[in-house]
Amino acid sequence: MTLINCTPWGEMANGPAYLFRLTNSSGAFVELTNYGATIVSIHVHDRNGRLGNVILGYDNLQGYMADTNYMGATIGRFANRIAGAAFELEGSFYQLEANDGVNTNHGGHSGFHGKVFSHEIDENSIIFRYISPDGEGGFPGTLQLTVTYQWTEGNALLIRYHATTDQPTIANFTNHAYFNLSGEKSGIDDHKLRIYSDNIVEANPHHIPTGLILPAGALTFNGGNVGQKIAEEDGRRTGLNTCYVLNKQNTQLHQACQLADPKTGRNLTIHTSYPGILLYTGDYITGETHQPFGGLCLECQYFPDSPNQATFPDTILRPGEFYDHSIQFHFN
């Protein structure tokens, strides 16, 4: 049985924020907040039995309100970039909020990372709900989203995304946790990563897909050190912001990747129902609390710019349809 505690965490203009703690019988626990349906911390044991937080975050609500890195947040309506902050759907043109140059990233300024969700506490899970009105951020349709977090006895955090709409729209949700399995601020260079993918989505320097799917080649991760893939150009380290096409794709949970920290012995295995996973090595982390390359994101999702790429998996959600995708983070 998961023990769930709820603590008031601050007042927002559009509702109160709460901090939830889900603890299993081993003492490992996850902290969540309804602000952005965000993962605040994940405390799991190392090989010596010591608890440590394995994601980047903040100690208070103010940190998340000031954050520009999407730390642990639920991303929507559309994860990652949409070229030109626009798309066409069934003969209609939709202009979105441009927040990444001329492009939209992570839903624009009206993204779900800054929304206050309603909540419900179930037997061993937290259920967050948000209703996104028609036109919010430029997206069509009133969208009803449910994000469910479940913390198990086996140290698995299961995230389920359910959504419906009253008009044809596009949908692509993920979580933006930055993982650092060391539990310290030592960076992620020595982490070992395996991604179950032979191909990547080719993108231009602004991370907009060209429409081509290419062999991963030198960007293949077969269990080597993450730091070995981080290049240095003109005195600056340039990391990765790459979408991988997962080898096994179906509607059930399939293995996406494994991340390990040899120093602490902590391991993370990710399963998902999504067709892709985006690796971001945290190059542009800003603020006083965290530094670039202090953590990496493994964002299970549809491919970036899918609404403008006819050959990519379909991200259209229509009335009467039920959006249903899952991500599982399993720690051992």
Catalytic residues: 176, 299
Amino acid at 68: T
Distances (CA, A) of 243 to 99, 190, 200, 300: 20, 21, 6, 9
Residue with tokens 């032979």: 198
Q: How many residues does the chain have?
A: 332
Rounded to an integer, what distance in angstroms lies between the CA atom of residue 62 and that of residue 41?
A: 15
Helix (H) or strand (E) holding 16: strand 15-23
Please check whether residue 95 is in contact with residue 138, taking contact to mean a CB–CB distance below 8 angstroms.
yes
Quick one: CA torsion of 211, 215, 216, 218, rounded to 10 degrees?
Answer: -130
Cβ contacts of 266 within 8 Å, gap of 6 or more: 44, 45, 46, 47, 52, 54, 181, 182, 183, 260, 331, 332
End-to-end CA distance of the chain: 19
Q: Which two tokens stand for residue 192?
A: 């070992």
